[in-house]
Amino acid sequence: MPKLEAVAFDVVETLMSLEEVPGRLAERGLPAELFDPWFARAVRDGVALAAAGGYREFDEIAAAALRDVTAAEVDQATVDHVLAGWDRFPAHDDVRPALEELRAAGVRVVGLTTGSAETISGFFAHNGLSEHVEAVLSCADVGIWKPAPGAYRYAVDRLGLEASQVALVAAHAWDCHGAARAGLRTGWVSRLEGRYNPTFDPADVTADDLPTVVRELLA
């Protein structure tokens, strides 16, 4: 197996904590527990568009999903309130040590996101992580959401590497599955799903925290 040269991290939920979002829903008079069905709907719709060969940007899909799960009882001000300021959300505590380990090992790091490159770049800057990240690559650049193969191939091509030299690290088993099908190595962190869904191809590495995922990928 060739040497690992780069890691592409999924960002939202894998690196970025969304712990503030339920409170934002509550501030606009919506149930905080609406967060899970809303965000799951948004991800489902983005993935469904990709499967059918279509594309919409994250904010558009998220806004439509919020209206769906509330039977359209959401005004634009509420949508704007919920979707604003994601560039200032906190990183999970284990992100910095994982990125520092990769930097010490001479492995390149990029973010690969369905969100906007501007928002995610702001997130890295806000959390003091920009020096560890070479670039933020957005699915908007190629007009297709993960887990479509083209999203991962775009990252590999931008890095100028072979797929086998790149690992995708995510908290979503479906994301790891898509990357594996595109020829990348994969690492899954359990913080979101708890259990790796056996419906999907297994990840090369699974662990409860990002530094362990990184160390096992490097090994």
pLDDT digits (tens, 9 = 90+) for 103-150: 999 999 999 999 999 999 999 999 999 999 999 999 999 999 999 999
- What is the spatial distance between Cα 25 and Cα 162, in angstroms, rounded to a whole number? 42
In this structure, what DSSP letter does residue 139 have? G
Helix (H, G, I), strand (E, B) or coil at 179: helix
> Residues in the chain, how many?
219
Residue 74 has pLDDT above 90, yes or no: no
- What is the spatial distance between Cα 153 and Cα 10, in angstroms, rounded to a whole number? 14
Distance from the Cα of residue 93 to its chain's centroid: 16
Rg of the chain on CA atoms, in Å: 17
pLDDT digits (tens, 9 = 90+) for 151-185: 999 999 999 999 999 999 999 999 999 999 999 99
Helix (H, G, I), strand (E, B) or coil at 86: helix
